[in-house]
Amino acid sequence: MNFSEKIIDGKKIAADVNRETAMEVAAITKDFGARPGLAVVLVGDNPASKVYVSSKVKRCAELGIYSEKIVLPKETSQAELLQVIAKLNVNPLIHGILVQSPVPKHIDEQAVVNAINPDKDVDCFHARNVGRLLLGDFSGFLPCTPWGVMQLLKRSEIPTAGKHAVIIGRSNIVGKPMMALLSAKGADATVTLCHSRTPDIAAFTRNADLIVAAVGKPEFLRGNMVKDGAVIIDVGINRVEAPGTEKGYRLVGDVAFDEVAPKASRITPVPGGVGPMTIAMLMKNTVRAFHLALKH
Ligand code: NAP
């Protein structure tokens, strides 16, 4: 395999997923005279969040999904935000609701997520949906980033059964649901979940067939922490200063790509790896939400 064949092209795979979604949306529009609808709620003015929200709204338009962007000032109280969600919960044009994370510190994010109608919880963060995920019930929503990783593996024909997968990071949005999906029946990996209190992480990663890095630390995973032939999935998106560039920053993953790529059998780049998949799977969940609404 030459070097470019090692790269798992998230942009291309996401484009394939998006093409499928656009076809599903077109079929829904034809059959029901309606469109799946997504509401994206942004509280405050976090620059990265603004970029994510704009990308989601733009992708909706490209795929024929109706969207509403609701931007609230950073002083918005939790009660005010809950009122906005209560209205969206009963809005028939809206099938999926997403509150962009992080919310300002005075707001309890999990309380907000749990106020979303679980049948509209396209991020799959609601306690009911997380519970179903752990029970192995994948008939509803799946969490966008870990589901995107699973799709990258599947569509790149990378087997997980019987493999030792090491996940670095135990967040509710990436690490923990990633553990659930990789260890589920059908995926059948043996999973080790590492975090900031894990001593000697390299002792685990050096034994891994598959490493998912979701740490939030630029270039955390170094070449000497990886065995030859391992598959590397880099979830990290970190802004590091880049004076003299137009934006003043560049995006760097949690993997030291130049050191790790020569040893890896397959690897995702940043950008252009997991990132595009997250939004692609959000769109898929919005279509699922439309079908769920039909059942009620
Ligand atoms: P997070 O909530 O900050 O969690 C980071 C995890 O890494 C925590 O479990 C933390 O351990 C662990 N960690 C931190 N420092 C560590 C260290 N020195 N050694 C070992 N473990 C350490 O982050 P997240 O939301 O999961 O996001 C992780 C990264 O993925 C970020 O760069 C984020 O921007 C990116 N991300 C990308 C996408 C995408 O679409 N590609 C989606 C979501 C997130 P403790 O639990 O012990 O604190």
- How do residues 176-222 score in pLDDT, each as one tens digit? 999 999 999 999 999 999 999 999 999 999 999 999 999 999 999 99
**Nearest residue by C-alpha to atom 48 in ligand 1:** 196
User: Strand pairing of 37-43 and 66-72?
Assistant: parallel
Give me the residues of the chain with pLDDT under 70, please.
none
For position 126, what pLDDT does the model report?
Answer: 97
Instruction: Give the torsion through C-alpha atoms of 73, 74, 79, 83, to 10 deg.
Output: 40
For position 109, what pLDDT does the model report?
Answer: 96
| CA nearest to 255, candidates 266, 242, 270 | 270
For position 141, what pLDDT does the model report?
Answer: 97
Residues 6+ apart with CB under 8 A from 2: none
| CA nearest to 221, candidates 189, 191, 187, 264 | 264
Catalytic residue list contains 100: yes
For position 3, what pLDDT does the model report?
Answer: 86
Beta bridge mates, 164 = 190
Check: CB of residue 152 under 8 Å from CB of residue 146: no
Q: 173 CB less than 6 Å from ligand 1?
A: yes
Q: 174 CB less than 6 Å from ligand 1?
A: yes
Q: 235 CB less than 6 Å from ligand 1?
A: yes
- Considering the entire predicted model, what is its pTM? 0.97
Q: Which atom of ligand 1 is nearest to the CA of 254?
A: 32
From 8, 123, 215, give the residue whose CB has the most ligand 1 atoms within 8 Å, as the site to mutate: 215
Please write the tens of the pLDDT for every residue from 265-291. 999 999 999 999 999 999 999 999 999
Catalytic residue list contains 123: yes
For position 295, what pLDDT does the model report?
Answer: 85
**Ligand 1 centroid to 215 CA: how many Å?**
3
For position 296, what pLDDT does the model report?
Answer: 76
